[in-house]
Amino acid sequence: MLGGPHYNVLLGRRDGRVSRASDVDGHLPRTTDSMSRIIQLFESRGFSVQEMVALSGAHTIGFSHCKEFSSGIYNYSKTASTDPQYNPRFASGLQKACADYKKNPTLSVFNDIMTPNKFDNMYYQNIQKGLGLLKTDHGLHSDPRTRPFVDLYGKNQERFFQDFVRAMEKLSILGVKTGSKDGDIRRSWTSHVWAIPSIETESTLCPCPLMNGIVMFESLVFGG
């Protein structure tokens, strides 16, 4: 539906029985975090800088609420109304699109304004041109540790797909629970159902479509 690569995910992953927002604090990146903080968070989970940049390419689809980037487009500083890292025309358009965000907190903008319904490498090309939406988007391009990978993926979509697949497959086995006391293997995402024992030991690979992977990415890394 959105295009992009496919990758294999091992079946039989256990899901926890409890989900608490309080467990998330301090463990997930925020849109206002510095690049050093984000790199540290990913490295603490065993992911390299390049893998982090590749996974960030998931922002080629989806949207962000205006409140997440409003500080960069309204009253940015005493000398500038907007963050100078934004393309000026883009910043002006964002100001108009988000004008009523305080009254309507649901107002949002596509993360990739050029090809919002296609999984491609346009996200990287956008942030090279000042068309990134979030502070963290601009940080990927301005930080010397991450910029080489932004430039690489911006000009080489096939390489982005290859590295994204490898990073997603690695992400799919992050923190896998073992033992019946630690979680359930569900037949349905919407219910707690104990799986048939034989399912637990299967090594079958699921050729999961991209959208399922994005859901997993958001859940494991960003708690979405």
Which residues line the annotated binding site for substrate? 29
E strand spans, the chain? 7-10, 63-65, 108-110, 205-208
d(CA 84, CA 222): 27
Q: In this structure, what token pair is assigned to residue 220?
A: 């494991």
- Binding residue positions: 29, 59-60, 112, 115, 120
Helix (H, G, I), strand (E, B) or coil at 181: coil
Spatial separation of the C-alpha atoms in residues 47 and 179, rounded to whole Å: 25
Cβ burial, residue 107 (10 Å; 0-12/13-18/19+): middle
In whole angstroms, what is the distance from residue 49 CA to residue 85 CA? 22
**Residue 201: burial class (beta carbons within 10 Å; 0-12, 13-18, 19+):** exposed
Angle, helices 157-171/49-56, rounded to nearest 10 degrees: 110
Residue with tokens 């086995």: 173
Q: 123 and 60 in contact (C-beta within 8 Å)? A: yes
The whole-angstrom separation of Cα 37 and Cα 162 is: 26
